[in-house]
Amino acid sequence: MIRKCLFPAAGYGTRFLPATKSMPKEMLPIVNKPLIQYGVEEARDAGLQHMAIVTGRGKRALEDHFDISYELEHQIRGTDKENFLNGTRELMDTCTFSYTRQVEMKGLGHAILSGRSLIGDEPFAVVLADDLCLNLDGDGVLTQMIKLYKQFRCSIVAIQEVPMDQTSKYGIIAGEQIREGIYRVNSMVEKPQPEDAPSNLAIIGRYILTADIFDLIEDTEPGKGGEIQITDALMKQAQNGCVLAYKFQGTRFDCGGAEGYIAATNFCYESLYKQGL
Ligand code: G1P
């Protein structure tokens, strides 16, 4: 079964400069919790215990976040402030964290390939932490996708409908709907202009990938933007076998930019923080 979750987290976060000049974008807080922690919690809630994080230069804060801070913890011991660390502590107690560095930034496909030594030869999940996905009324998005994986045993991408003028921000799929909200992918294009987009179904930052994806990425030439795209490797997988696209239940915030970040902050403040969640 799926045990591991890969977090590509080496990107520069240029849309958030200067905040991300010396701080990883995955450490940006949504109210009082960094984005990476929301992602790890979603993975843990889906039953995944091994977090594999692909970092890069200047990303040390990510490793420190999931580690003990002796001085701080000593200072607040016995006060009610200790409770603020309970959530992080629980993750550290129930999950393992392993790290590798992506030395050169050559695209999301390349970032995922950089995590191969942490994953090995088994299916795994991928979370792009700046896509914050919440489903307060039911299962988290990864939980939904893992349920689907158990039935189909193939790679799955999460999708949502976007306005046609936004297709150039996403990988776009087209496919045959096999069940309500589930498509068998037959076309996949990275960031097409609206006139070239096969549909308005956009891939968002949640994937389940079977291990053969690594060899497919190795054989993938640089594509859009001169980068090695996971979308191109997945297209090959779809041609050789099967890739599903899944319209998930819940809300997704693009926290890599100001608008989505503010929307996520307002939503989490009202629906989680104020409720003491
Ligand atoms: C990446 C993928 C793209 C996907 C997006 C989701 O793009 O390449 O296919 O739609 O994540 O967030 P990025 O946003 O990293 O440029």
Tally of CB atoms within 10 A around 211? 14
119-166 pLDDT, tens digit per residue, is 999 999 999 999 999 999 899 999 999 999 999 999 999 999 999 999
Taking CA atoms only, the protein residue closest to ligand 1 atom 10 is 170
Cis preceding linkage at 18, omega within 30 = yes
Residues in the chain: 277
* Dist. CA 175 → ligand 1 center (Å): 19
pLDDT at residue 200 in the model: 97
* Dist. CA 64 → ligand 1 center (Å): 26
Q: Which residue has the tokens 């349920």?
A: 147
User: Ligand 1 pocket test: which of 25, 105, 108, 204 has the largest number of ligand atoms within 8 Å of its C-beta?
Assistant: 108
pLDDT at 202 over 80: yes
Q: Which fold has domain 4-273?
A: Spore Coat Polysaccharide Biosynthesis Protein SpsA; Chain A (3.90.550)
User: 155 φ, ψ to 5°?
Assistant: -65, 145
* Dist. CA 169 → ligand 1 center (Å): 7
- Residue 204 CA: which ligand 1 atom is closest? 6
How many whole angstroms separate alpha carbon 8 and alpha carbon 11?
8
Q: Quick one: which H or E segment has residue 45?
A: helix 35-45
86 pLDDT tier (thresholds 50, 70, 90): confident
Residues 6 or more apart whose Cβ sits within 8 Å of residue 141: 42, 133, 135, 158, 206, 248, 249, 250, 252
- Residue 130 CA: which ligand 1 atom is closest? 12
pLDDT at residue 85 in the model: 87
* Dist. CA 254 → ligand 1 center (Å): 10
Enumerate residues lining ligand 1, CB below 6 A.
Answer: 108, 128, 131, 170-171, 190, 202-205, 229, 231
pLDDT at 261 over 90: yes
Is residue 72 classed exposed, middle or buried when 0-12, 13-18 and 19+ CB atoms within 10 A define those classes?
exposed
Residues 6 or more apart whose Cβ sits within 8 Å of residue 82: 73, 76
Cα dihedral: 188, 190, 191, 197 (round 10)? -20
Q: Quick one: which H or E segment has residue 277?
A: none
153-171 pLDDT, tens digit per residue, is 999 999 999 999 999 999 9
CA 41 to chain centre: 12
How many whole angstroms separate alpha carbon 31 and alpha carbon 275?
13
Taking CA atoms only, the protein residue closest to ligand 1 atom 6 is 204
Assigned token pair, 184: 């068998």
